[in-house]
Amino acid sequence: MELDVIVIGWGKGGKTLAGTLARAGQRVAIVEQSTSMYGGTCINIGCVPTKTLIHDAEQHRGNRADAHYFYKSVERRDELTAKMRQKNFSMLNDLDSVLVLTGRASFTGPHSIKVEGGEEVLELSAPRIIINTGALPSVPPISGAEIGGRIHDSTTLQHAELPAKLLVVGGGYVGLEFASMFAQFGAEVTVLDRGARPLKREDEDVAAEVASALSDAGVSILDSASVTSMRQDAEGVTVTYQRDGMERSIEADAALLALGRTPATQDLNLEKTNVRLGERGEIKVDKYLATSSEGIYALGDVIGGPQFTYTSLDDQRILKDQFLGEGARNLEDRVAVPTTMFTTPPLARVGLSEDQGRAQGLDIKVAVKKVADIAAMPRPKIVRDPRGIIKFVVDRNSDQILGAALMHVDAQEVINLVALAMRSGITASTLRDSIFTHPSSTEALNEVLAGFD
């Protein structure tokens, strides 16, 4: 079957590009290996379902695990994701010039693939093939660390029973998000983090605020803990770890492995192409998202780097410009990309931390204030959560914002304003003197940016 473009994987970037090219008159095939993944990771097992559960966890009242409440939250999540999955399927399937295929795709040559679904095999070819297969949770080389039973990754834990006791192996974004969520559902949560402190890439004062909020929720964090083995049976799981030169063990009803994600390239049969891979199995691309094999491109989590839905969508803009525009847009255009960890309250950041700025020898000034001490920020007090911290790193000479860390109610929204200011060259003083609605979390910028070291 001759096509103009084949998209392998239904992630944010791939599905958006498929629809865009189809509406521009191109013949497009999109291949997804599972009907449960139409729409990609975000709406099915990632952002949307986990944040739905986090919201419901925040509404949970009481310190005890409530299996029925958790079940109802899971039920609500599943109803939402099912509707979004069907909508995503229809958005492409309803286009006459899009062929939607369900099956496993693998390359048979640099411009051809086969799609296997059950006993059926379909051969496809196109001058352009887009790889958008995403990433999978990493399983570390730890004795007994196998997903199944009482040991989970971030996908399977969402579909398990609410554990009374949960061990989280890994103190990164995913690990701490899940720790915060399950603690608020009433589980007794312990995080085993091999670092000297959680969130080692954050400034110490910011990381301390996150740790304090997790402690408020009942999360225990064991730092400098290196897991050496895991063992499970029908009743629970035992994790053995090294800490302070001693071997210790801890038991729980379930364990979560939250140690990053690995690009999903293993089954693509890339040996039939000239596509090069990096050390972690990521597809190597140039700044225009072209691989080393002519006509093959990759976008989203599969290329490594920041693994976010919104960066995948921006990848799509680069390829859209390549195929339908001037071909100028590229990865180097991407600056001031914000991130959010959805603990309670959330931690959002963009740009440089204070530690990074000083390590680079930059002449910086820093404005920092705890949320509870910000008089011109009543919203957190109104919603009964005045915890957190706001910190800005600014170039002392130009007054340009170099970075910010916001940990407070609504931080996931306010960070977008800060990132836009950075991309637009708006100074800290201009942001400080801007007019914001009241009562809002944004108006904290008036006060925080008025006080620098």
**Active-site residue list:** 438
Alpha carbon distance, N-terminus to C-terminus of the chain? 65
Q: Angle of helix 47-59 relative to helix 67-93, nearest 10 degrees?
A: 150
Sign of the torsion angle spanned by Cα atoms 84, 89, 92, 95: negative
CB distance 284 to 196 below 8 Å: no
| 3 state SS for 147-213 | CECCEECCCHHHHCCCCCEEEEECCCHHHHHHHHHHHHCCCEEEEECCCCCCCCCCCHHHHHHHHHH
**Bridging pattern class, strands 296-298 and 261-263:** unpaired
Rounded CA separation 269/284 (Å):
15
Contacts of 272-278 with CB under 8 Å at 24 or more apart are 272/107, 272/108, 272/109, 272/110, 273/107, 273/109, 273/110, 274/110, 275/131, 278/304
Name residues whose C-beta falls within 8 Å of residue 373's C-beta, 6 or more positions apart in sequence.
none
Listed in order, strand segments (DSSP E) in 294-381 are: 296-298, 339-341, 347-351, 364-370
Please choose, from the candidates 323, 6, 365, 53, the residue with its C-alpha nearest in 3D space to the C-alpha of residue 180. 53
Query: E strand or H helix at 407, and its extent?
Result: strand 401-407
For tokens 């009964």, what's the residue? 384
Rounded CA separation 208/193 (Å):
15
For tokens 């001693």, what's the residue? 246
Order the strands of the 246-252 sheet from edge to edge. Answer: 226-232, 237-243, 246-252
Please provide residue 190's backbone torsions phi and psi, each rounded to the nearest 5 degrees: -125, 130
Rounded CA separation 48/218 (Å):
25
Cα 323 from chain centre = 28
